[in-house]
Chain A
Amino acid sequence: MSDFSTVDPSTQEPLLQLRASEIAAKAPRVPKRILVLGATSGIAEACCRLWAERGDSLFLVARDPEKLSAVAADMHTRGATYVGSSIANLDDTAAHPELLAHAINSLAGLDIALVALGVLGDQSQAERNFARAAEILHTNFAAPASLLTWLGNYCAQRHSGTLAALSSVAGDRGRKSNYVYGSSKAGLSAFVAGLRNRIDREGVRVMTIKPGPVRTAMTEGMKGSEKFADVNEVAEAIVKAIDEGTDVLYVPGKWRVIMAVIRAIPERIFKKLNL
């Protein structure tokens, strides 16, 4: 007993502080629980690699079993704490609730969801045949909206989580060369903005990601593709923005300026341009 009373607190306190900071530095980072919908898309896969390398837990959803298993093996090898996966055609919105509940159950909760499904589609086909256009609109707008509705309600109830939706700068203004794709992304951007307006106050971060042209396997070989943004740099910006809770991310950042200019062009001029 007397031993304790003789301890001089002035010498003991710095010791304790040192130990506390040491412990904090050495404490393992709590892995984030991340759900990735459309995990075999080039941008989503590049984000997953960064998350896996820092030891996060991932649940991956994609349609093609062989591709999904290759991506899952990669994430597991790179150091993800946990990798779960489900094969699903996300166009099937009726199956979303069960799928999402299963994914969140496997992750034991949810910190981040990246909604990355989307198709480029063929503009000229979509112009001639509305069935083609409807497919693009469904995959790029209706299906993500369905996922975000469920996820938004789930997160709002718990007052936590980050929902990040992959839209596109193409949604900022309709252009003749890709307005079907562009309008699907415009719809998604508006949907996400509205959802953010609704549940941000509930403590849920809702994020719109607007990439410019990115060099992925999907765009390789296109005219000018060597000037497109590097997918790994885009992924780094996205992962950072998700950590920081950015509302709207243009990536690379120059697209915020470019699109501001494009949106500012008066329609009577814009309608005559070849964009």
Chain B
Amino acid sequence: MATASSAPQPEPAKNASPRFESWGRFPTLDATVLPMRWQGDFPGMIDGVHGGALAVGMGRSYGDVCLLKDGTLLKTTSMNRLLGVDANTGLLTAEAGISLAAILDFAVPRGFFLPVAPGTKYVTLGGAIANDIHGKNHHNAGTFGCHVTQFELVRSDGTRRLCTPTENPDYFGATIGGLGLTGVIRWAQIRLRPIVSRMIDYQGTQFHGIDEFLAINEQSQNVEYTVSWIDANSTGRNFARGIFMRGHHSNVPAPLAKSKLPKLVFPFDAPGFALNSATVGLFNTVFFHKQMKKTVTALQDYEPYFFPLDKVLHWNRMYGKRGLLQFQYAIPWEHAREGTEAVLRAVSKSGLASFLAVLKAFGDVPSPGLMSFPRPGLTLALDFPIKPEKSFALFQRLADMTREFGGRLYPAKDAAMTPSQFRAFYPQWERFARYKDPVLTSAFWERVMGEEAAR
């Protein structure tokens, strides 16, 4: 008769809701989840609540920047209203919990596109700012934060600040890439870019080795979008083979319909043995040879071009219950080549399967964000299924290598960097900490602050 509970019943919300998971599904931490539906809900909604709080969105960051142990997560996804748009300038204002998918559904039929599109459209506007996300156009457009014109920040004491590059510029900079720790973003304004078609002119080129990659990259400076898939498993002749994917928005006017909803859902948690070096090696070989010719050109819809994995909802279940560990570095040009080769060698030698390895050159457009991750050089993103004895040791080895090569790791994808690594990667953390809200915190912040956070 459980189905007969025909109408909403008042139940204490605490701990009754399902656990909020990050995309990597590691670590798993229990927190109270409270829905934030209106801009005025915070800070009143945490009156009398003990422990820290953190605004979260769709849980697409991989590690623990969107988690909190025994605290209160303020889920912003139903605070998702569009507040205004200027059809001439492309300036769009919306509440922070709106997803980029919803922004695209609204903007594309009107001839506009995101200024920076990440690898999934299922992230919120607030999350995109808090992680200062980047996309395939970083080399010419910079980060998402470069296209944020203003937002309103509310602190746990109730004070509200309009933040722009000129008004409260310190809070503006600290909040972009500030991991949600400087306050709760009520709404934000971004500048969209015009398009005349959904289509992307795509060109994929095979390469073997980092030098070939760098040569193609050098020739692609004026191409709007560049990214490469790279085989992180193969050794020998096939070491660092990959496909360099270039694209730009088609200039040929074409219908600008709204996207259809995805129908595929990864239905269950795959067993732990499903992803091993054999299956991943096979995947990578097939992926490489799916493109038969050295170079392929095509006209492709923006959905599969930008968000290939969004086609399958909950694809992270492929990694099973134990989840996955992401690793993404940015290494400055000075050591980018040797660093990338060394890391790829360490990964392929480890035998820990990684597919969906992505390599891209970051450009030098500065972000307004104080704690922003990207910097000029190369960025490599890898993921591993979590195998308790091996994955973390490999991660630490790669993190140390990143540090030696003068690089840094991306908090949005991290579940394992140590306090000393964090401080080396982000020496500006002390300045940032001055803008942190005393009530807001995250599992990530507590982890990388170590004893500092306990005070």
Residues of A within 8 A of B (CB): 42, 66-67, 70-71, 73-74, 76-78, 120-124, 168-170, 172, 175, 177-178, 181-182, 185, 212-214, 216-226, 255, 258-259, 262, 273-275
Contacts and interface: CB of A to CB of B under 8 A. Distances in A.
B262 to A, nearest CB: 14
Given A74-B83, A168-B6, A213-B8, 5 more contacts: A73-B82, A121-B10, A221-B35, A258-B4, A274-B1
B452 interface: no
Contacts of B18: 226
B83 A258 contact: no
Contacts of A77: 82-85, 106
Contacts of A124: 10
Given A74-B81, A74-B83, A122 B10 contact: yes
8 contacts: A120-B8, A178-B7, A217-B78, A219-B8, A221-B11, A225-B17, A262-B4, A275-B6
B88 interface: no
B38 interface: yes
Interface string B26-40: 000000011101111
A139 to B, nearest CB: 15
A39 to B, nearest CB: 12
Given A67-B38, A71-B81, A123 B6 contact: no
A168 B3 CA distance: 15
A159 B111 CA distance: 42
The number of chain B residues touching the other chain, given as a range, is 20 to 34
A120 B7 CA distance: 9
A21 to B, nearest CB: 20
Nearest to A255: B6
A199 to B, nearest CB: 28
B447 interface: no
A70 B152 CA distance: 14
Given A216-B78, A221-B16, A123 B38 contact: no
Contact of A220 (B2, B75, B95, B106): B75
Contact of B6 (A67, A213, A222): A213
B104 to A, nearest CB: 14
B13 interface: yes
B39 A70 contact: yes
B219 interface: no
A218 B6 contact: no
B5 interface: yes
A195 B78 CA distance: 35
B9 interface: yes
Interface string B242-284: 0000000000000000000000000000000000000000000
Nearest to B75: A220
B95 A170 contact: no
Contact of B78 (A177, A220, A226): A220
A220 B18 CA distance: 10
Given A221-B16, A221-B33, A74 B9 contact: no
Given A66-B40, A220-B78, A221-B34, A73 B6 contact: no
A188 to B, nearest CB: 13
A172 B4 CA distance: 11
B6 A170 contact: yes
A108 B359 CA distance: 59
Contact of A273 (B1, B3, B82): B1
A163 to B, nearest CB: 22
Contacts of B34: 221
A79 to B, nearest CB: 9
Contacts of B16: 221-223
Contact of B1 (A120, A121, A172, A275): A275
A229 B279 CA distance: 38
Contact of A222 (B1, B11, B40, B78): B11
A262 B6 contact: yes
Contacts of B1: 273-275
Contacts of A217: 35, 37, 78
B38 A222 contact: no
Interface in B332-351: none
Contacts of B75: 220
Interface in B29-58: 33-35, 37-40
Given A77-B82, A223-B16, A70 B9 contact: no
A221 B37 CA distance: 13
A178 B9 CA distance: 7
Closest 6 pairs (CB-CB, A-B) = A170-B7, A221-B13, A217-B37, A74-B81, A77-B82, A220-B35
Nearest to B85: A77
Nearest to A77: B82
Nearest to A67: B38
A120 B10 CA distance: 8
B119 to A, nearest CB: 25
Contact of A123 (B5, B10, B40, B95): B10
The residue in B2, B7, B16 that gathers the most chain A C-beta atoms within 10 A of its C-beta is: B7
A73 B3 contact: no
Contact of B5 (A78, A172, A177, A218): A177
Contacts of A258: 3-4, 6
Interface string B65-108: 00000000001001001111100000000010000000000100
Contacts of B7: 168-170, 178, 181-182, 185, 212-213
Nearest to B32: A221
B35 A275 contact: no
B38 A66 contact: yes
Contacts of A275: 1, 4-6
Contacts of B33: 220-221
A259 B6 contact: yes
Contacts of A226: 17-18
Contact of A70 (B8, B17, B83, B106): B83
A224 B4 CA distance: 12
A275 B18 CA distance: 22
Contacts of B35: 217, 220-221
Nearest to B83: A73
Nearest to A218: B8
Contacts of B85: 77
Contacts of A178: 7, 9
B261 to A, nearest CB: 10
A181 B95 CA distance: 32
A123 B95 CA distance: 33
B192 to A, nearest CB: 13
